[in-house]
Amino acid sequence: MFEKGRDFARNNRAQATIFIILGIVIVAGVIAYFVFFADVSNNNIPSDLQPAYTNFQNCLQNDLKTGINVLGSQGGYIYMPQFYPGSRFSPFSSQLDFLGNPIPYWYYVSGNGVEKQQVPSMTSMENDLSKFIEARARSCDFSEFYSDGLVINMSKPKADVSISDSKVQIDMVMDLVIRKGNESVLVRNHKISINSNIGSMYSDALKVYNNEQKYLFLENRTLDILRLYAPVDGVEIQCAPKTWIAEDVLENLGNGLDANIVAIKVKGGDYSLNSKKDQYFVEDLGTNTNVKFLTSKNWPHVYEVSPSNGNVLQADPVGNQQGLGALGFCYVPYHFVYDVKYPVLVQIYDDPTGAIFQFPIAVVIQGNHPRKSLVGAVAVGTDTSLCEYANSNVGVNVYDSNLNKVDANVSFECFGTQCDIGQTKGGHLDGKIPQCVNGKVVAQTDGYEDGTYVVTQAQSGQVDIVLSKLYSKNLELKVDGKDYGGDAIISFNKENGSAVTAVFPRQNSVELSEGQYNIQVVIYQNSSMSIPESTQQQCVDVPASGVGGLFGFTQEKCFDINYPEQSLTNVLSGGGKQDYYVSQSELQDSDKIVISASSLPVPNSIERLQENYILYDNNGLGVEFQ
């Protein structure tokens, strides 16, 4: 009996050994399968499956070309930085709308008068292109192959893009399994390379930009144009006051800028000189590429001149020195001060390929003087000089307003340079940042306002960033208690400097987060109001004629000044302002924001229009979350 039990145990052990061996064989087979197919190259794919993979490669190549074109047309960005609006004092938002295509300014002055730079680095361009490819890789069209019985599966892709002067390359890891009947193949590593000069064009764009920041050649040319097309300083030999219509002066200045900025050429570029005077328009910017400079008086701008008397620039005569009256000698000196702010779009282009890289920059003249150069204050366009020295350890924790952990992309910004730190996992990230005092750690993720933390000391530490959740809310506008569907501009200006503006009713929703806002509603109405032509008499004392002038006697001489007729097509007809704290509970528990405004009397004169602006400043708004 004992012997039989021992045989039984021996048989069980033998069976177990067989199962173990079979398991090892199966696991080894699976591993060998994936190892073998992970290393499959394009040349080793079975012929029946090759067309499907070739289709995938063509799809990747087309996506890469599309992404490169977007980078070039949007100033080195595919995913746009946060939008900030301009103001009546500074017309520049953070983006220039060029033929319906928003392009981030590389340099501009914000609505509250702060100089801003948002020059992309090569690394950020590569990251944008990588994200673009990853988002589209699994959207390739395989419909023609599905009908032939092919089964295609794809895992989540991870792309690495490298941009050089003449080439862009993708190295992407993604399990792509293609099956048909008993045949199957797994390709894990995908590499695509195309010829593109996006890298060299970006380098040329940096040369143009840095030259402008160092020498301000656009501002200096603007001063030349200003003195050529508008009265700035001068003397006229006459006894009557000299006047200009300010509207006509500024219109002429805008036309002059349009005509002369586009005439600027870059030394070494593709152009021809028809005369010696054309040489004046040639700039040596350290690059031999083809460059165009564009502007338009239809783009947001500010042209201001002072002193002025309404719409009239007036210079009064001088001639009261003793003895001058006998000679009949008078003169009219004038000096006008201009503030000029307008955008210029810089286009780097390549004729043989049709490729283009463009970015806008703000040109600023303040009080007849160019703005100050930023050289020495800001490091522009390169991240190697700063990001390569990321040697301070930092721990970043990202939360929402309820202190729940949030995953976000984290970067570090200092002196116009952005360094990628990484992405939090479980709301936390350990990384390294450069030692740059007053730099900003920035956390960004969908559905939340960007959060920042200012690093005031160049040392290691912990950073806690709380993100405010964004809520999309529909807008409803009432005027005098009735639903209003006409044109209005509704602005939500937050105390941190951010702003959201809706052009109602075309834009009837906004995204808001908790915080203190100044809400403004401006309603305009079409008008045919005109300011009639008028004549005003201006009298001045001039030296008396004849002998009396020798002894300093004066006489009054009067002149008629004609003011031309003016037409106003739009007039302020309603609205108001209201400070309002938007709470988290209101955002969570509501679907729409109902704003109640009051109308203003329809103006029929300049005096009535001025009264409307006074009433508007004092008008409040009703704000209700429903």
Question: Do both 295 and 231 map to the same domain?
Answer: yes
> In this prediction, what percent of the chain has a pLDDT beyond 90?
34
Q: Would you call the peptide bond into 102 cis, given omega within 30 degrees of 0 as the criterion?
A: no
Pick from 141, 169, 196: which residue ends a domain?
Answer: 196
Which tens digits make up the pLDDT trace of 301-352?
989 998 877 677 888 767 543 344 433 445 778 999 999 999 999 999 988 8
Which tens digits make up the pLDDT trace of 461-480?
788 989 888 898 899 999 99
> pLDDT band at residue 561, thresholds of 50, 70 and 90?
low
Tokens of 163: 């941009």
Question: Do both 242 and 207 map to the same domain?
Answer: yes
Q: Per DSSP, what are the bridge partners of residue 115?
A: 109
Residue 501, Cβ density class (10 Å: 0-12 exposed, 13-18 middle, ≥19 buried): middle
Q: With a cut of 60, say whether residue 94 has pLDDT above it.
A: yes
Q: Is the distance from CB of 118 to CB of 105 less than 8 angstroms?
A: yes
Query: Which residue did the predictor score with more confidence, 74 or 439?
Result: 74
The pLDDT assigned to 495 comes to 79
Tell me what the mean pLDDT of segment 197-210 comes to: 94
Please check whether residue 102 lies inside any domain of the structure.
no
Q: With a cut of 60, say whether residue 354 has pLDDT above it.
A: yes
Question: Do both 475 and 618 map to the same domain?
Answer: yes
The pLDDT assigned to 559 comes to 62
The pLDDT assigned to 328 comes to 41
What one-letter code names the amino acid at 95? Q
The pLDDT assigned to 377 comes to 33
Question: Do both 278 and 160 map to the same domain?
Answer: no
Tell me what the mean pLDDT of segment 565-571 comes to: 59
The pLDDT assigned to 315 comes to 82
> In this prediction, what percent of the chain has a pLDDT beyond 70?
77
Please check whether residue 31 lies inside any domain of the structure.
no
The pLDDT assigned to 190 comes to 93
Task: With CA atoms as reference, report the closest residue to 511 among 526, 496, 529, 492.
Answer: 492
Q: Where are the alpha helices (DSSP H) in 74-112?
A: none
Question: Do both 586 and 621 map to the same domain?
Answer: yes
Number of DSSP helices (H) and strands (E) in the chain, helices first: 11, 39
Question: Do both 480 and 462 map to the same domain?
Answer: no
Question: Do both 190 and 216 map to the same domain?
Answer: no
Please check whether residue 560 lies inside any domain of the structure.
no
Q: Which residues of 213-241 are buried (b: 16+ CB within 10 A; e: fewer)?
A: bebbbbbebbbebbeebbbbeeebeebbb
Task: With CA atoms as reference, report the closest residue to 106 among 98, 94, 114.
Answer: 94
The pLDDT assigned to 311 comes to 73
What one-letter code names the amino acid at 45? I
Question: Do both 248 and 315 map to the same domain?
Answer: yes
To 10 degrees, what angle do helices 217-229 and 246-261 make? 130
The pLDDT assigned to 23 comes to 53
Q: Which domain holds residue 131?
A: 42-81+118-196
Which tens digits make up the pLDDT trace of 36-84?
443 455 557 888 899 999 999 999 999 999 999 999 999 999 999 988 8
What one-letter code names the amino acid at 418? Q
Q: Is 134 helix (H, G, I), strand (E, B) or coil?
A: helix
The pLDDT assigned to 562 comes to 56
Q: Is the distance from CB of 451 to CB of 569 less than 8 angstroms?
A: no
Number of domains in the chain: 4
Lowest average pLDDT, out of 148-157, 512-521, 610-619, goes to: 610-619
Q: With a cut of 60, say whether residue 105 has pLDDT above it.
A: yes
Tell me what the mean pLDDT of segment 575-590 comes to: 90
Please check whether residue 563 lies inside any domain of the structure.
no
Lowest average pLDDT, out of 340-354, 479-493, 561-575, goes to: 561-575
The pLDDT assigned to 288 comes to 82
Which tens digits make up the pLDDT trace of 239-289?
556 778 888 899 999 999 999 999 998 887 766 555 566 678 888 888 888
Task: With CA atoms as reference, report the closest residue to 371 among 103, 92, 118, 113.
Answer: 113
Lowest average pLDDT, out of 66-75, 237-246, 366-375, 574-583, goes to: 237-246
Please check whether residue 124 lies inside any domain of the structure.
yes
Supply the CATH number for residue 617's domain.
2.60.40
Tokens of 114: 């702060």
Please check whether residue 87 lies inside any domain of the structure.
no
Lowest average pLDDT, out of 573-582, 601-610, 614-623, goes to: 601-610
pTM value surpassing 0.75:
no
Q: Is the distance from CB of 196 to CB of 167 less than 8 angstroms?
A: yes
Supply the CATH number for residue 388's domain.
2.60.40.1120
The pLDDT assigned to 374 comes to 66
Tokens of 380: 């522009």
Query: Which residue did the predictor score with more confidence, 545 or 8?
Result: 545
| Residue count (the chain) | 626
Task: With CA atoms as reference, report the closest residue to 437 among 464, 463, 457.
Answer: 457
The pLDDT assigned to 378 comes to 33
Pick from 155, 170, 196: which residue ends a domain?
Answer: 196
Q: Would you call the peptide bond into 91 cis, given omega within 30 degrees of 0 as the criterion?
A: no
Question: Do both 128 and 186 map to the same domain?
Answer: yes
Please check whether residue 541 lies inside any domain of the structure.
no
Average pLDDT, the chain: 80
Question: Do both 393 and 453 map to the same domain?
Answer: yes
Q: Per DSSP, what are the bridge partners of residue 189?
A: 173
Tell me what the mean pLDDT of segment 517-524 comes to: 86
Q: Where are the alpha helices (DSSP H) in 262-383?
A: 324-327
The rounded distance, in Å, linking the Cα atoms of 153 and 172 is 16
The pLDDT assigned to 537 comes to 65
> pLDDT band at residue 4, thresholds of 50, 70 and 90?
very low
Question: Do both 362 and 434 map to the same domain?
Answer: no
Pick from 341, 370, 399: which residue ends a domain?
Answer: 370
Please check whether residue 562 lies inside any domain of the structure.
no
The pLDDT assigned to 240 comes to 57
The pLDDT assigned to 289 comes to 86
Residue 25, Cβ density class (10 Å: 0-12 exposed, 13-18 middle, ≥19 buried): exposed
Question: Do both 304 and 342 map to the same domain?
Answer: yes
Q: Is the distance from CB of 520 to CB of 491 less than 8 angstroms?
A: yes
The pLDDT assigned to 329 comes to 47
Listed ranges 8-22, 155-169, 517-531, 539-553; the one with the highest mean pLDDT:
155-169
